[in-house]
Amino acid sequence: MVTVEDFGQFETTWCPGCGNFSILSSLKKTLSALDIAPHEVVISSGIGQAAKMPHYLKCHMFNGLHGRSLPVAQGMKMANPDMKVLCVSGDGCSYGEGGNHFLAAIRRNMDITLLVHDNQIYGLTKGQASPTTERGHVTKAQPAGAPSEAFNPVSVAVAMKASFVARAFSGEPDHLVDVMTQAMNHTGFSLVDILQPCVSFNKVNTFAWYKERTYFLEEHDPTNWAAAMEKSDEFGDRIPLGVLYRNDRPIFPVHDRLALHEYDTNDLKAVVQSYT
């Protein structure tokens, strides 16, 4: 039996009150409830406060570059399909720097889970607008207000018929565990966009702001694409939480563990022979 304690207890560099804490403890609960042991899971992360997550967990990890957690994770999955592969990173990392990889990963549909800590701001670099910052939101870097429309990750994912799309909130940890569990049990690319207050740099989208607006999806059929499209667009006075959309699209073809693979010399000789 795997327990929460198996994933260790570490000192973090997060600010007191940060939404990341609840996401970390929810992830530990999810992994232990699913009986996934530390050596059975690998976390690929990018750069940012959220991307430090694997440092605070006992598990295999590859803490790589800003925005590049998905390509690394997909390489791992292709090399070893037996691994449980998670990607953990923030909104800037996943939707800004890694935007192209986000779109490509949805299309490829490998069996991996992407957890995005979405606080609508850059925290580690101290308060610049992120791709999900709402238009007009004033920051030190955008003193006249963020000039661009916010990126809606769940709408884009649903529009692309991603195989699993959910939204959760760090202030609702039980629901978050439930959504993470569904995401990890889903076969295919699963996105969980996790709303999370940045207590230091986002004075607009606070804990209270999310708490006031979020509600749990009920009587929503996640296999209904048109309904999911409509729900995914809801972000303002009311923000739905839960599984917005899922399907059973075919996943990316899988192979044997490449580390164990040795070719047959006769096959190589045949290849050379084909050039005579």
Partner 1 sequence: MQDTSFNIVIGGAAGQGLATIGRLFSKGSTRAGYHLLVNQKYMSRVRGGHNTFAIRFGPDPIVGPTESIDILVALNAETLALHEANLTSRAIVIAGDDLETDAANVLRIPFKTLAPKPLFHNTVALGVLGAVVCLDAEILERLLTETFAKKGESVVQANIDVLRSAYAWVTSQEYTFPCVAPSEKDGERIMINGNEAIALGALAAGCNFLSFYPMTPATSVAMTLIEKGGPLGLVYEQVEDEIAAVNMAIGASYAGARAAVTTSGGGLALMVEGLSLAGVSETPLVCMVVQRPGPATGMATRTEQGDLNLVLYAGHGEFPRAVFAPADPEECFYLMHRAFDLAERFQVPVFVLSDQYLADSYRSLEPFDIETLPHTARPMLDADAAEYKRYLLTEDGVSPRLVPGSTKALVRADSHEHDEDSVITEDGLNRMMQNTKRLNKEYGLWDEVVEPDYYGEDTPDVLLVSWGSTLGACLDAMEMADFGKSVGVLHFKQVWPLLEDTFIDYLEESGTVITVEGNATGQFSKLIAQETGFIIREYILRFDGRPMSAEYVLAGLNTILETME
In the block, tokens 């690929």 appear at 44
- Residue 104 binds partner 1, judged by CB under 8 A: yes
Shortest distance (Å) from residue 267 CB to partner 1: 5
Q: Which amino acid is at 253?
A: P
Nearer to partner 1, 13 or 187 (CB): 13
- Residue 160 binds partner 1, judged by CB under 8 A: no
8 Å CB contact between 50 and 93: yes
Q: Which residues inside 256-275 make contact with partner 1, applying CB under 8 A? A: 256-265, 267-275
Alpha carbon distance 130, 151 (integer Å):
9
- Residue 35 binds partner 1, judged by CB under 8 A: no
Among 24, 50, 53, 76, binds partner 1 (CB under 8 A): 76
* Piece of 58-66, 125-133, 137-145, 212-220 that binds partner 1 (CB under 8 A): 58-66
Residue (of 211, 206, 120, 130) closest to 172 by Cα position: 211
DSSP of 25-86: HHHHHHHHHTT--GGGEEEEE-SSSGGGGGGGSSSEEEE--TT-HHHHHHHHHHH-TTSEEE
Nearer to partner 1, 97 or 172 (CB): 97
* Piece of 27-35, 188-196, 229-237, 254-262 that binds partner 1 (CB under 8 A): 254-262
- Residue 55 binds partner 1, judged by CB under 8 A: yes
- Assign 191 to helix, strand or coil: strand
Alpha carbon distance 169, 236 (integer Å):
15
In the complex, which residues of this chain contact partner 1 (CB under 8 A)? 37-40, 42, 44, 47, 52, 54-55, 58-65, 68, 71-76, 78-80, 82-83, 100-101, 103-104, 108, 255-265, 267-276
